[in-house]
Structures are given as structure tokens and as C-alpha cells.
Structure 1
Amino acid sequence: MLVWLILIGLLVFLVLNPILRLIVSSLQQADTGRFTLENYRAAYGNIRHLQALLNSLELGVGVALLASCFAVPLAWAISRTDMPGKPFIRLMVFAAFVTPPYLGAIGWILLAGPNSGWLNKAWLALTGADHGIFNIYSMAGLILVVAVTSFPYTFVFTSSALDLVSSEMEDAANILGSRTLRTTLRVTLPLVTPAIIGGIIISFLEAIALFGAPALIALPARFNVVSTQLWQFFEYPVRIEEAAAYSIPLLAITVLMFWLQRRILGRRGYASVSGKGGERRMIALGPWRWVMFGYALLVCALSVFLPMIVLLQAAFAKAWGRGFSLDNLTLHNFYYLLVEQTQAKQTILNTFVYAGVTAVAAVSLSLAIAYVVSRKLVPWSNVLGFLCIAPFVIPGIVLAIGFYAAYASPPLALYGTATILILGFTTRFLPIAYTSSAAGLRSINPEMEEAVRILGGSRFLAIRRVLIPLLKKSLAGAWILVFIPATRELSSAIFLVGPNTRVISVMLFDLSEEGNFEVLAALGVILLIATIVIAAIGSKLIGRDFMLRRNT
């Protein structure tokens, strides 16, 4: 029983206390600690703060709509038609998913920065105009950048639903004279509308909670969103109570939208209504299949090809603005990061050490909690499962403010330490580890453990000698699923990092403020290579698209 009490205490420490402390701080005076609503008046009595909230809502709606325009046609073409190149397009969607949004934003700054971006340079060369036509430093530019990295969410929801829909109703519509486009719009897509809306909601929440891409694009464009406004509350003097008050509506919006998404998906409007699974036949598009393939390549170009090409060019360039030429090629940017710059080496080491420790901690804790819940070892065990899942509906930036409020000041005084970063990351990605652990445990019959107990073995012996060997593959997959996002996490790291605990995501942000795009691109390439290697290992262990499938 002592072990289970310790687990409950850990969950309270990691999940419940920071959120409660966030709420309490929003209602406290900074100096006296007395109850007040002044923090809310200060947070929302300023027109600039209100405008930042409206900007976030505009960003979220714009990203959700644009991402659905990218994702739904792709999902339909891959799941239901004979469009060529489907494995390649799936691979590119996966590549868009694993690309950190702030790295994609940097690529688009190099592409569409006013006058200096490559697209604007090409326009000037072709037309002889006085100025370029693209300006990434705008709300439209920010919406595009976030949408091309978040559309995989809607894609996976939609394609998974389409894979469950038989062709029977489409065949009936065709027999009655309906053409392919009309059948798709009037029959197929309405069947998967709950899944599409679920993906749209996830894209909306992803957009309003992001920090990196808005900080790189919105701040130079002289407008704020909620995440960048929260960051400004941490400029000297730190206004933690005001930041807590300002973050509460973001938390409320996130919880409400997740509840709505669960309600919509719970209807399962895409389920078969015929009583048995029917055959799913591919629709022959004829010449239009090449048009569809061209659209798919356009989406892939916007999300992967173009930003990655300019990032690679900058990473291997002496000066990225000089373009592609042999005399501009160099490996010095990588040599500088890996050999010369001690701080950069420490930052890279910090990133992978913290991510590794986070993955071990999250998987270990989630496995223990999932075991307690699945075997019902304590009363109200489902509450423990709820606490493990709860961080999923808490934006990383809000969670970081909660950790700052709870553990930055004495007696723990953890601010700027590796401990608070690891604890914050563990809490942030605990739902991923718990979902994988719980799924693995459900596949194992408890009778195997009971056999060990009957033969005189303890429960812990049964866990160590029976459960863990059977769950090795599942636990390895869970470790990878936590490790990869932990290496690129920025929204929570930017609030908790200290001078000696910088990680790659924070260093990339700092380099972008300095305008050192060559070194920045090289560091981004290092992060991407590590992500791709780990993702490849995961695909071998679990299967293709394992990250996309496990996060839905």
C-alpha cells in the first residue's frame, strides 16, 4: 500500500499542485498573498492584452480552416482513390508531423522574409519589381506556417475514419446517377464529419498554445498572441500572478474544446451502418488523379520541401543570402556547434539527457499507474488514470507557469534547474506514456500474474519477471514517443530554463533573435537528424506512422 500512496503523491506533485497553484496565484496579491481580483483586472483591463487574445482566436480559426483544406483532400485521395505516389505522400505527411513548428517558421522566414527571402528574390529577378510580394511577418504568414505543420492531425483523424467506411453507400449513389465529386461531398465526407471536426479542434488548440512560431513571426510583425503576451509577463519584473490570471481563459478554452472534441468523436458518425463491414474500393479518378497528385505535392512543398531545402542551404552556407554556390559551401557551422562552442555542446547534451530522463520517468510512472488502474488495486483508481491524462488538456505554456508558481520560490527554489525542466517535461508528456502503457496492459491476461502469485511469488516479482518482458516492445515505443517531443519542446522550456540548463529549442529561439541563421539552421538539422533516426527506430519496433497513430 505504501508504494501506491507514493504514486498518488507523485501525481499530486506533478499534476494537481501546479494547476491548483496557478489558480491560487491568479487570485492572490503579489506582496501580501491576500485574495484579490486585481490580477484579472490588470490582465484583461489592458486593450493590448485583449487584442492578443483576439489575435490568438483569429490564428486558431485560420489555422484550423487552412489545415483542413490541406488535410481533408489528401486524406480522401490516399484512402479512397487511385492517386499515384500514395506511400511517398504519407511519408511527407509524417515528415511534416515530426518537424518542430518553430523550425518550419525559420525555414519560411528564409523563404518569405520581406525582400531578402528566396521567394521574394526570385520574384524580383523575374519581374524587375522594386519590392517582393511575400511577407511572412503577418497574421496570414503566421497562419500558413502553423497550418503546414499542424494539418497532419486532421489528416490522421480523417484518413482513419475513411478507412472504416465501406463503399456500399457510394456505390448506391453512383447507381442513382451521382458523379464522383457529388458523391464525395454528399455521401463520403458527411459520414466522416465527426472525425474532420475532431481534427479541426486539435489544430485549433495546437495553434493557440504554440509559442515558438508566433514569437518568431508575430513579434517582428508587431502584434501579440496569448503565448507571446504570457512570455512578456516574465520580463523583469516578473508578474507571475498577472500571468496566471491571463492564462486561465486559455486553459478554460482548451478544456472546453477537448470536451467538445470528445463529444463529437463519441458519436462515431463514420461507423458502418450496414451491420457488417463492406468492401472499400478505390475510386478511379482518370486524368484527375494527376491533378490530385499535383495538389498533394503542393502541400508537401509548403510543409516540407521548401522550408527544408532553405534550412539545409543555410546550414551548409558561409552566408545564406549568397545562395547556392560551391565557394559558399562550408561545414564550419556544424564544426562550431559540435567542437568549438562549449555552450552549444552543453546545450545539445542537455537536450538529449533531459529528454532521456524524462522518457524513463514518464514511462516508469505511467506503467505503475496503469497497473494500479487496470488491476483496481486501490479504491477510486480511475482518478489516478484521470490525473495521468489531465496534462493532455493543459497547454504547455500554462503548465510551465503553474510549475513556476509552485516550485520556483523557496523552499524548493527549483527555477532554472534541470530538475524543474525534467519534472515539467515529464508532466507534459505523461499522457502519451500512460496511453501506451495502459494499451499494453489491456493486451495481457491477468491470469499470468496470478499464476506467479499462486506459486508463491510476490506481485512485484510478477511485474518484473512476467509483465515487463511481455511489454518490452510497447514500453520501448512509449519511451520513443516521449523522447522525441521532449527534445523539441519549447513552450514550457522557455519559462523554466536557466543559464546552465538551456536546451536546443531555446537556443534556436535565441539564435533567431540574434539573426545567426547559418548556425541556427545547422542546429536545426542536428535536431531533425536525431528525430528522424529515433522515428526510424520506432517504425521498426511498432510499425509505420507510429507517432501519428499513437497521438490520435
Structure 2
Amino acid sequence: MTRQRGGGGLVLLAVLSLLAVVALPLSFIALQAVFPAIASGSLAAPFSPVLAILGAPALAGSMLNTIVLGLTVVGVSAVVAVPLGVVRGLFRLPLQGLWDVLMLVPFMIPPYIAALSWILTLQPRGYLQQLAGFHLQGFLFSFWGIVFVMTLTGLPVVYFAVSRTVGAIGGRLIEAARVAGASPWTSFLRIVLPLSAPGIAASLLLVFALTIEEYGTPAALGAKSGFEVLVTEIETRVSDWPIDLPGAAALSLILVCLSLAAFLVQFRLLARHSFETVAGRPAPSAQASLGRWAPAVLPAFALVVLLATVAPLAAILATAFSRTLSGGLSPANLGLDNFGAVLRSGAAGLTALGNSLLLGVGTAAITGLLGTLAAYVILRTRLRGRSLLDALTVLPNALPGVVVAVGLILAWNQPWLPVTPYNTPLILLLAYCCILLPYPVRYAGAAFRQIGDSVEMAARIAGAGRFTAFRRILVPLVAPSVLSAMLIVFSVASRELVASLLLAPAGMATVSTYIWKQFDQGSVTVGMAMSTVTIAISTLMALALATLIRRSTPP
């Protein structure tokens, strides 16, 4: 069936692409961790890098720090975001659309930019001290300061997952339970919470994975307090002399195991503790009024929005429009000088912005095409090994950016390769595609599941080949979902940090490496001007695409 009129070409392209983008870098990490001299063709001293890492005194501390940081961020996120999500799903909030937009903004701010904005706010002579007369540097450059910043950046993941899950389940079933005599609290505990628990747990486990993979915040805040995690250890071994690729590969395997453990727990929870309703398609129900709880709920939303959205954005904008950082919050110190330094013709900032936009567009186009092909092969063919391909599309979710970067260095920096993308912009494109491939695959897969087999079968009966049916019928139907995923890919790729730091060719800058370099050199105001431009571009593109999809979708 897959060999008919172009179908074999689709399958072969999807399989080879997944192997090159995902399987190759991970395979070289495993080989380098086991055989330290594999680059020279020797299999001597197997497992010595792993044994050396396991015996290193610093490993226990970094690994414990990584796990404790992830669990703590998950716990604080659960305490803050789960109640807010439940309230948003079950109750009618004043200006609830605005609250959703404000809660989404932290996702548009790169985590390392959020960390740098909090440094500017809480450090001595920072914005907090200028406004209130005191600073919180001791808190910020500590374990709890790192938890504070990472919790704020991860809030949207939990908030939107919980609010949408509870909203889809809660109102209608609570009304039925109330008719049967249950109290609102009993209805929530006995019905809504069990049905929502898998979604809540999945979002919290995703926060754990994102936390242990994040490089920018621990690197920016943990250096002064000596708080090392696995990601910063890997980056140090790859970037500082003497370079220790076997040690970095061994640490990468440990980090991958931690990430995979989180996702395996998520899959087990979804498989063993899922519940279904049997009342047919859910009907929308009116959300309840907050009533007497409004005076407590609305200030809670306002406080979270103030910390997660308003404060970082205010610090970013205040710094971007300041002529000098030492000038402080003074009208005389405001101007557009920093934007001129970033955007003037021939400036390094404009070149970096152009590089990131091109890489973001290229990554979105490639992953959109590859994700659609992979989802089609997995769901619409009878190819043997489809489950393995499906696993390859999920695996990048558990691969931190630093691990992907190490894998690509090991795979494409071999002395025996006649041609290599290493030290060219193509290596960044490969890294971004590997990290972000799961988004288009999952979005396209969800769209394919909503399209019945009869549509494709009708085209085949009418004489269309598999490729023609795929190109002329299925692709237009899944295009809105794939375009949404491509927007996410573009937003993340155009600001990705750790892989860019490790893989960017000599003399080439991206937005993230430019900003990081500006902060490292003390040009904070110019770095924040670039951050402002990047956030504005991502937001405008999101609004434009949302408008396009809404207008093109039939009522």
C-alpha cells in the first residue's frame, strides 16, 4: 500500500529525515560516552567516561541540585498555577480574555531574558531599590531565587493545561452532580479532580522536564551562589579548555535519563489513571459566578500577573529605553539610542536579528514539512516500525538543548567526514529542527486523527495516487494546525540560547548569542533593546497568524 504512486517516497523521506535529525546525534552521544576514543576509530577503554563521571565527587551535587530544583519548581508551580487554572476553568472572571493574554506573555519572554530582567530589578541600585529603597540581591542569587524565576516562566504551561482541562470537564458534570444532591466541593473532589488529574500531572511533569533542561536561568543566577546543575556542567565541559567531550557525553546521558524518566511517568499516569465520560460529546455549560470569592481571587490573579508579566516586561522596557544604566529611572535618561544601535544599517545587532529570523523561518518550514510527513506515516500507513518512528518524534521532548548540541558536535565533527555542516549555519538549523520537531508532529497528528479515512479513500477511488491525495487533500485540511505549530517553532528557534552558544560558527551571531554577549560585556541596555525587538516580532507574528487562521476557518 505504501509503495503505490509516490507513497514509498513519502515514507522513505520521513524515515531518513528522522534518523538524520534525531537518531544520529543521540547515537553519537551514546558511542562517545561508552568509547572515549571513538573519533580516532578506537574502541579502547569502554565505559571509562561513564565510570569517571559516576566516581566524580561533583556529580552527586550537580545531580542532586538538578533533581531538587526540578521538584521544587514543580511544587511551587502546583501551589500557584493549579488553583488559578481551576478557578479560570470553572468560574466566570471579569475580563477573563485579558487575564489569559497576560498569563501567556511569560511564554513569549525567553527564560534567560526573564532572569536578566529580575537581576536588573532586584540587584543593588536596581529598579526595586530606586522605587522602594531596598534590594533583594541576596534572595535572587540563591536557590530560592532560581526557583522563583523558573516558576514564573513555567506558569503558563500549568495554568493553560489546567484551565482548559477543568473547563472542558467541570461545569456540565458539576451541574449533574448538584442535581443528584452533591455539594459543590464534593462534586469537585469526586468528579472534576479525578477526571482532570492526568492533565494536571502531565503539565507538572512537563514543567519538571523544562526546568532540568533550562540553561539560561541557572547560568545567570546560580554562578554567584555556586549552584551547579547538570546543564551548566555539560556546557562548561564543552566550552572551557580543556574540552572534555566524553565527560560531556556521559553527563548528557544522565540528563536524558532524568528527562525520559519524567516523560515515562507521564505516559504511565495517562495510561493507568485516565477516566472517560460516557455521555457523548460534551456540551458547553455556563461558568459559575465568583460571587463572594471575587475579593480573594482577583487579587491573586493580579499578583501573579504582576510578578510573571508586568515586572519582567517593565524591567526590559525600562532598560531598553535607558540611554545609560547608571542614569536610572529618569525621564532625561530615556531615548531610542539603543534601538538605533541594534537596528542601524550594518550593525551587528541587525545582522544577528536577520540570522535568527532566517533560521527561525527555515526551522519552521523544515519541521512543518517533516512533522506532517512523520505524522502521516505514523497514522496513515501500515509501515512496520511505526512505533519506533513515533518514539523518535517524541524523544526530542526529553532531549535538552545542550544534549542535542553535544550530539551534533560529536556526530559532525569527526575527522573522517569528507563534508560536514559543522561550523556552518546549517549545524544550527539541524539543532533547532531536532529540538522543536515534536510540535509539528503532535499538531499534525491531532489534525490527522480528526480527518476520517473516507476522505483519502474517496480520492484513491477517483484515481489519485497516495502522494496526490496527501498533497491536494490532506495537507490543506491539516494546514491550520501545522501553521500554529510552525509559529511556536519560529518563536522558540529565533531565541534559542544554549545550542546557539555551543554551535554558532565563528563570527556568526544570533539574537540569543548577541544578547548574552551584550550582558557579558556590560552593554545591558543594548541587549534589552534587542530583547524588546525580538518579543515584539514574536507577538506580532502570533497575532497575525491567529487572525489569518480565524478568517480562513469556516464558521
Q: Considering the TM-score relative to the shorter chain, is it more than 0.5?
A: yes
- 2:32 corresponds to which residue? 25
Report the equivalent of 1:246: 251
Whether contact under 8 Å (1:28, 1:34) holds in the other structure is: yes
Q: Does 1:36 align with 2:35?
A: no
CA positional deviation for 1:506: 1.9
CA distance in 1, matches of 2:337, 2:450: 51
Taking the aligned partners of 1:535 and 1:3, their CA distance within structure 2 comes to 30
Is the contact made by 1:473 and 1:541 (CA closer than 8 Å) also made in structure 2?
Answer: no
Task: Check conservation: 2:364, 2:489, Cα contact below 8 A.
Answer: yes
CA contact (8 A) 1:161 1:270 kept: no
1:116 aligns with 2:122: no
Partners of 1:394 and 1:486 in 2: CA distance: 15
* Cα contact 1:39–1:242 (8 A) shared by 2: yes
Partner of 1:258: 263
**5+ residue gaps in structure 2?**
1-7
1:159 corresponds to: 163
Give the aligned partner of residue 522 of structure 2: 515
Give the match's secondary structure for 2:494: helix
Deviation at 1:33, TM superposition (A): 4.0
1:75 aligns with 2:97: no
> CA 1:242–1:275 in 2, change beyond 3 Å: closer, same or farther?
same
Name the SS of the counterpart of 1:243 in structure 2: helix
Q: 1:104 to 1:433 in 2, by over 3 A?
A: same
Q: How far apart, in 2, do the equivalents of 1:61 and 1:123 lie? A: 33
Contact 1:211 1:227 in 2 (8 A): yes
Matches within 5 A, 1:270-349: 271-272=276-277, 280=285, 282-339=287-344, 342-349=347-354
Q: 1:549 maps to what in 2?
A: none
Spell out, residue by residue over 1:144-201, the C-alpha distance to the aligned partner (whole angstroms, 9 max, x if none): 11100102111122222212134555785799796x6787567654553332222221
Per the normalisation by structure 2, the TM-score is 0.89
Deviations 1:201-224 (A, max 9, x none): 111111110011111111133221
Question: What amino acid does structure 1 have at the position aligned with 2:473?
Answer: V
Query: Match for 1:461 among 468, 483, 488?
Result: 468
Q: TM-score if structure 1 supplies the norm length?
A: 0.89
Q: Structure 1 residue 532 and structure 2 residue 539: aligned?
A: yes
**Counterpart of 2:72 in structure 1: which amino acid?**
G
Report if aligned partners of 2:447, 2:481 keep a CA contact under 8 Å in 1. Answer: yes
Once residues 469 and 191 of structure 1 are traced to their aligned partners in structure 2, the CA distance between those partners, rounded to angstroms, is 34
Q: Distance in 1 between matches of 2:194 and 2:454?
A: 44
Instruction: Give 3-state SS (helix, strand or coil) of 2:223's partner.
Output: coil
Query: Which shows bigger deviation, 352-361 or 512-521?
Result: 512-521
Distance 1:417 1:314 in 2: 33
Q: CA deviation at 1:514?
A: 2.0
Q: Distance in 2 between matches of 1:543 and 1:53?
A: 46
Count of residues in Structure 1 that have an aligned counterpart in Structure 2: 537
Equivalent-residue separation in structure 1 for 2:509 and 2:188 (angstroms):
50
Q: Structure 2 vs 1, CA of residues 353 and 173 (structure 1 numbering), >3 Å: closer, same or farther?
A: same
Q: Deviations over 1:199-256 (max 9, x none)?
A: 2211111111001111111113322111111110011221111001011121111111
User: Alpha-carbon deviation of 1:273?
Assistant: 7.2
CA distance 1:534–1:246, shift in 2 (3 Å):
same
Matches within 5 A, 1:89-238: 89-113=99-123, 115-124=124-133, 135-163=139-167, 164-166=169-171, 168=173, 188-234=192-238, 235-238=240-243
Question: Matched residues in 1 for 2:502 and 2:508: separation?
Answer: 12
Write the distance in 2 (CA, Å) between the matches of 1:358 and 1:6.
17
Counterpart pick for 1:64 among 74, 99, 102: 74
Change (3 A) 1:110 1:384: same
Is 2:513 aligned against 1:506?
yes
**Cα distance, 1:181–1:121 mapped onto 2, change above 3 Å:** farther
Contact residue 84 and residue 290 of structure 1 kept, 8 A: no
CA contact (8 A) 2:375 2:441 kept: yes
Deviates more, 1:474-483 or 1:163-172: 163-172
Residue in structure 1 matched with residue 21 of structure 2 by the alignment: 14
| CA apart distance, 1:75 | 0.8
Displacement of 1:462 in angstroms is 3.1
- 1:68–1:341 Cα change, 3 Å: farther
Deviations 1:32-68 (A, max 9, x none): 4424232123323332232111111121111111111
Q: Find the aligned partners of 2:464 and 2:276 in 1 and give their Cα distance.
A: 45
Q: Indicate the larger mover: 446-455 or 435-444.
A: 446-455
Q: Tell me, in whole angstroms, the C-alpha distance in 1 between the residues paired with 2:257 and 2:284.
A: 43
The alpha carbon displacement at 1:387 in A equals: 1.9
Shift of 1:143: 0.5
- Alignment RMSD, CA only? 2.8
SS in 2 for 1:488: coil
The C-alpha deviation readout for 1:357-412, integer Å capped at 9, x for no partner, is 11111111222222333331633334323322221222222122111111123314
Question: 2:4 corresponds to which residue?
Answer: none
The answer to whether the Cα contact below 8 Å between 1:414 and 1:420 also exists between their aligned partners in 2 is: yes
CA contact (8 A) 2:90 2:171 kept: no
Residue 536 of structure 1 aligns with an amino acid whose one-letter code is: L
Equivalents in 2 of 1:232, 1:190: separation in Å?
44
> What is the identity, as a one-letter code, of the residue corresponding to 2:118?
W
Determine the C-alpha separation between the residues in 2 that align with 1:222 and 1:538.
43
Greater shift, 61-70 or 163-172, is seen at: 163-172
Change (3 A) 1:99 1:271: farther
Residue pair 1:63, 1:204 contacting (<8 A) in 2 also: yes
Q: Deviations 1:409-431 (Å, cap 9, x if unpaired)?
A: 33144333111110111111111
SS at match of 1:224: coil
2:390 aligns with: 385
Structure 1 residues without counterparts, runs of 5 or longer? 126-130, 545-552
Closer, same or farther in 2 for the Cα pair 1:367/1:286, shift >3 Å?
A: closer
Is the contact made by 1:358 and 1:425 (CA closer than 8 Å) also made in structure 2?
yes
Aligned equivalents of 2:150 and 2:136: distance in 1?
Answer: 22
Q: 2:218 is matched by which residue type in structure 1?
A: P
Q: Supply the distance in 2 between the matched residues of 1:122 and 1:73 (Cα, whole angstroms).
A: 31
Bigger shift: residues 297-306 or 513-522: 513-522
Partner Cα distance (1:370, 1:315) in 2: 42
Maintained 8 Å contact 2:32/2:246: yes
Distance 2:294 2:439 in 1: 37
Question: In the TM superposition, what is the alpha-carbon distance from 1:450 to its structure 2 partner?
Answer: 4.5
Note if 1:489 corresponds to 2:499: no
